[in-house]
Structure 1
Amino acid sequence: MNRLRTWAFMAAFYGGSVPIVLMAPVMALFGTNPLRFWVVLWTRYHRWCARWVMGVRVAVSGTIPTTPALYVGKHQAMFETFEMVALLDAPVVVLKKELASIPVWGWAAQRYGMIVVDREGSAAALRTLMRAGQAAAATGRSVVIFPEGTRVAPGEQPELKPGFVGLYRALKLPLVPVAIDSGTVWPKKGIKRSGVIRFAFQDMIPPGVGREEVEARVHTAINVLDVAGG
């Protein structure tokens, strides 16, 4: 059943995404706000397909701030890159530069305001990340980053890439860690399963906390679902 659902989800989501993505440049002609609306609509279509085709529900706990913040999330699947946009109403998302090279979509993502970053983390890349983050925050939008740098399997708790701390310092926004257990039903490769994906928004970390402390607090916070046996 899960195999059939996975195939049906891929057909429904990717098939439906073709006209949505191709329309993105047209929406961009009308300005940034229509394009943001279009991107959020796409993420909600992803949510609809996940729920009604794949049988995956989203459970949200904790408090989502009503003012801009830096959200730092666990990364186990592509699922959360869509869902965080839907949950937070068009935040800026830091994504790897390989995704920006996808024809049409990559162009639209950058027009939407996505921040493209080199995962190798060179000094120049970090400076670019901080400048782009500051520009995004100046527009009143929240920023989302996945500091593990790539998708990890459930139970894996790698050290975090340093870019998120530089971004935290540059933005001077509250930081909200988000624990996510998407990998339990939405593996990096292979057959997806029906079930529940949890997004647990953790206690806010105010601006100005020292590097070592914020790294330790974020690492613990984004992994609480693994610790809890999620």
Structure 2
Amino acid sequence: MRTALQWIRSILFNIVMYVSMIALALAFTPLVLVDPKWAPVWMRLFARWTRFILRWIAGLKTEVRGEVPTGAALIASKHQSFLDSILLFSVLPAPRFIMKKQLAWIPLMGWMAIKAGFIPVDRGKRGVAIKRMMADVEKGRATPGQLIIYPQGTRVAPDRHLPYKMGTAALYAQLEQDCYPVAANVGVFWPRHGIYRRPGTAVIEFLPPIPPGHTAATFMVELEGAIETASNRLIAEARAD
């Protein structure tokens, strides 16, 4: 009975979330046409609204731990589901995501993402993607913000492991900024696929920054070690509840 009720709550949450996404995007479109600065405003509003309805409809609380960077920085985040993106966007003051190129073609949403400063790359051509990514980042230096990349390149379930890609090290070397690793356990509650939302507390955690100056190899070892160790701790914490 309890599981059936949670399925109903999960379905209701998803309906409300996607209807809200479309409604907010339509409402903000005229403003974005006048000034692109409104694009990240609607995304942040949607992210915070989603956290609210996720708790009150589906019974899933969210928590952000650690020091949230406010200046220019590179964010290298664990990516388990749409929820970690929502949490990042709800707290970072000027986030810009590295996103796969196909997402730019989503009607209205893709256009909004580009206006918000997201950087699309073609993951199917690794070398070209990294060069394009670095060129686009260079063009955006005049607008300080937090550049977000998923080092594994895709959503990874809590019990799976995929290698970390060197594109993150290339950005780290070029930007010469602090890199904040971000751990997560959100996949325990909001899976990569499916609509069921498990009640509990989903967490992302900003870890101590890695300062600039490391070699690519040293940086990647430190980054992966920090994210995986902290994520495993958060996952164990979630499953112990």
Q: Secondary structure at the match of 1:89?
A: coil
What is the CA–CA distance in structure 2 between the aligned matches of 1:56 and 1:137, rounded to whole Å? 37
- Matched residue SS, 1:188: coil
Contact 2:74 2:148 in 1 (8 A): yes
Q: Which runs of 5+ in 1 are unaligned?
A: none
**Structure-1 separation of matches of 2:204 and 2:126:** 31
TM-fit CA distance, 1:77: 0.5
Say whether residues 1:120 and 2:124 are aligned partners.
yes
Residue 9 (structure 1) aligned to one of 10, 13, 28: 13
Matches within 5 A, 1:1-230: 1-190=5-194, 191-228=196-233, 229-230=236-237
**Conserved in 2, the CA contact under 8 Å of 1:51 and 1:57?**
yes
The one-letter code matched in structure 1 to 2:205 is: A
Give unmatched runs, 5+ long, in structure 2: none
Cα displacement (A) at 1:155: 2.6
TM-score by length of 1: 0.94
Tell me which moved more, 73-82 or 127-136. Answer: 127-136
TM-fit CA distance, 1:121? 4.3
Deviation, 1:143, is 0.6
Partners of 1:47 and 1:227 in 2: CA distance: 23
CA distance in 2, matches of 1:209, 1:120: 28
For residues 180-203 of structure 1, what are the alpha-carbon distances to aligned partners after superposition, in whole Å with 9 as ceiling and x for unaligned? 110010011232211111111111
Kept in 2, the 8 Å contact 1:172–1:208? The answer is yes
User: How far apart are the structure 2 equivalents of 1:72 and 1:226?
Assistant: 13
Structure 2 residue identity aligned to 1:192 = R
Q: RMSD across aligned C-alpha pairs, in angstroms?
A: 1.5
1:30 to partner: Cα distance: 2.5
Answer whether contact 1:155 1:226 (CA < 8 A) is retained.
Answer: no
The alpha-carbon deviation at position 167 of structure 1 amounts to 1.1
**Identity across the alignment (%):** 31
Aligned positions, number: 230
- Which shifted more, 47-56 or 174-183? 47-56
**2:20/2:46 contact within 8 Å kept:** no
